[in-house]
């Protein structure tokens, strides 16, 4: 089990080192394999450092191809399809809008499960930085409390990405979500940030959220 | 001397992805210099910067925008643009702010591949500016109060968000 800095712990029963959380390859076969690997994240109580809940991050493999897909299986497929379509580009307004609409619909329909299913793509570097950033941006703008904690979690976790583009998108997402609860994670991110411009942005987001306290 | 504003996405200009060779830019950066008919859209910012906020607001509520986001941009000094031998032509912008469209929108015209690459190389060396989301919200609020832009020309999802600003 790897204890994550964001206060979540990641448990994985995977033995295949090629499917490491921080370096999955992006081909569709490994995406499909990874989607069936049992994995969980656990909320860690910041005071007691004990796990307070455990959330499965992926689904067990289906036994036969004729077996009816559970809703979560359909979700996995829809998320995969979402990111496969996005690989054609999300830069054009129309492309971004279509991506954003589909992503928001999935989150509204499936709630936390949708974020769980997206997590390996975003945190595991299985989509490129542009798509990951667009995803974080969309998630930060979903209105209301839908999957709020999961959306905050994925932002916080993305602050640890190897890509400065994704780290920046995560910081902007946290700013857009306007939640001072993100302050400790932003402080940690600021402490380890190697990019001077991004450090400046993180500092300004931090100051903004501190004023909101 | 005035300068020309080009809207960019900060992340696209970063070079810390492992696959990007030293001294190179990722191709995604070129999307910020997207051109049609060999023209690139740019906004003239007066020397005193007085119209900067209004241009930022116009870009923040531009067609196709569905949420309130930060605005990243780079300012190219007019002299620098001339040094790159890029021709500049006055044209009408297409944002919901008619004054900004008429007064400050220009095109860099007759662009060639080498000029686009020269522009990209130049932008990479310049420092980028960012108007963060809270400030963009404030600018939109002020712009709305002063009727700087036509809310009917704003995407309806963004309109809902703007109407929710207080």
- pLDDT for A128 equals 92
- pLDDT for A71 equals 59
- pLDDT for B133 equals 95
For the record, the structure tokens of B165 come out as: 């600003």
> For the segment A146-169, what is each residue's pLDDT rounded down to a tens digit?
899 999 999 999 999 999 999 999
Better-predicted residue by pLDDT, A30 or A104: A104
**A:B CB pairs within 8 Å:** 59
Instruction: Provide the whole-model pTM.
Output: 0.80
Closest residue to B16, CB basis, from A93, A133, A195: A195
Closest residue to B134, CB basis, from A91, A168, A208: A208
**B56–chain A nearest CA distance, Å:** 18
> For the segment A135-147, what is each residue's pLDDT rounded down to a tens digit?
999 999 998 888 9
Query: Does domain A2-212 sit in CATH 1.10.10?
Result: no
For the record, the structure tokens of A112 come out as: 């936390």
> For the segment B21-76, what is each residue's pLDDT rounded down to a tens digit?
998 999 999 999 988 889 999 999 999 999 999 999 999 999 889 999 999 999 99
> At a CB cut-off of 8 Å and minimum separation 6, what does A74 contact?
none
> pLDDT-based confidence at A70, cuts 50/70/90?
low
- Cβ of A197 and B128 within 8 Å? yes
Q: Does position A66 have pLDDT exceeding 60, yes or no?
A: no
Per mean pLDDT, which range of A15-24, B29-38, B97-106, B142-151 is the poorest? Answer: A15-24
- Cβ of A169 and B11 within 8 Å? yes
Binding-face residues of B in 28-67 toward A, CB within 8 A: 28, 31, 34, 63-67
DSSP of A107-126: HHHHTHHHHHHHHHHHHTT-
For the record, the structure tokens of A121 come out as: 């793509």
User: Chain A contact for B165, CB < 8 A?
Assistant: no
Q: Does position A178 have pLDDT exceeding 80, yes or no?
A: yes
> pLDDT-based confidence at B19, cuts 50/70/90?
confident
Domain residue spans of chain A:
2-212
> pLDDT-based confidence at A73, cuts 50/70/90?
confident
- pLDDT for B54 equals 98
DSSP of chain B: --EEEEEE-GGGG---STTSPTT---THHHHTT--BTTBEEEEEE-TT-TTHHHHHHHHHT-TT--S---EEEEEEEHHHHHHTT-EEEE----SS-HHHHHHHEEEEES--HHHHHHHHHHHHHSPPEEE-HHHHHHHHHHHHHTT-S-GGGS-HHHHHHHHT--
- pLDDT for A34 equals 37
Binding-face residues of B in 120-149 toward A, CB within 8 A: 127-128, 130, 132-134
CA B122/CA B126 separation, integer angstroms: 7
User: Chain A contact for B10, CB < 8 A?
Assistant: yes
- pLDDT for A30 equals 34
- β partners of residue B45: B3
CA B148/CA B56 separation, integer angstroms: 12
CA B133/CA B139 separation, integer angstroms: 10
Q: Does position A33 have pLDDT exceeding 70, yes or no?
A: no
Closest residue to A176, CB basis, from B10, B127, B133: B133
- β partners of residue B4: B44, B76
- Cβ of B10 and A168 within 8 Å? yes
As a whole number, mean pLDDT of residues B140-163 equals 96
Please state whether A111 falls in left (phi above 0), alpha (psi between -120 and 50) or beta: left
For residues B157 and B67, the answer to whether their CB atoms sit within 8 Å is yes
CA angle B125, B127, B129 (to 5 degrees): 145
As a whole number, mean pLDDT of residues B133-157 equals 96
> pLDDT-based confidence at A113, cuts 50/70/90?
very high
- Pick the residue from chain A with its C-alpha nearest to B135: A208
């Amino acid at each position: 089990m790897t204890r994550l800095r964001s206060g979540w712990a990641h448990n994985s029963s995977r033995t295949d080192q090629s499917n490491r959380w921080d370096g999955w390859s992006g081909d569709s076969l490994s995406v499909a394999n990874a989607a069936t690997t049992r994995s969980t994240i656990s909320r860690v109580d910041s005071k007691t450092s004990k796990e307070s809940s455990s959330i499965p991050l992926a689904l067990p493999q289906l036994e036969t191809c004729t077996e009816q897909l559970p809703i979560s299986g359909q979700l996995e497929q829809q998320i995969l399809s979402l990111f496969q379509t996005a690989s054609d580009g999300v830069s054009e307004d129309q492309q971004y809008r279509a991506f954003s609409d589909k992503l928001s619909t999935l989150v509204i329909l499936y709630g936390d499960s949708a974020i769980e299913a997206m997590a390996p793509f975003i945190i595991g570097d299985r989509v490129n930085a542009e798509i990951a950033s667009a995803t974080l941006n969309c998630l930060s703008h979903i209105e209301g409390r839908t999957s709020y904690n999961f959306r905050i979690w994925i932002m916080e976790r993305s602050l640890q990405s190897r890509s400065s583009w994704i780290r920046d998108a995560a910081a902007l997402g946290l700013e857009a979500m306007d939640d001072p609860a993100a302050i400790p994670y932003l402080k940690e991110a600021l402490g380890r940030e190697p990019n001077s411009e991004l450090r400046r942005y993180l500092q300004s987001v931090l100051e903004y959220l501190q004023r909101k306290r | 001397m005035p300068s020309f504003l080009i809207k960019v996405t900060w992340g696209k200009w970063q070079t810390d992805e492992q696959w990007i060779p030293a001294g190179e830019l990722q191709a995604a950066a070129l999307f910020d210099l997207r051109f049609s008919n060999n023209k690139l859209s740019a906004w003239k910012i007066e020397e005193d910067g007085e119209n900067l906020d209004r241009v930022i607001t116009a870009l923040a509520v531009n067609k196709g925008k569905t949420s309130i986001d930060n605005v990243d941009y780079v300012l190219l000094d007019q002299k620098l643009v001339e040094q790159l031998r890029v021709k500049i032509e006055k044209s009408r912008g297409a944002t919901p702010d008619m004054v900004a469209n008429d007064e400050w929108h220009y095109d860099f015209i007759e662009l060639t591949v080498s000029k686009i690459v020269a522009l990209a190389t130049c932008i990479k060396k310049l420092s980028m500016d960012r108007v963060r989301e809270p400030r963009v919200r404030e600018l939109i609020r002020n712009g709305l109060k002063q009727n700087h832009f036509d809310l009917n020309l704003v995407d309806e999802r963004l309109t809902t968000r703007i109407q929710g600003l207080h």
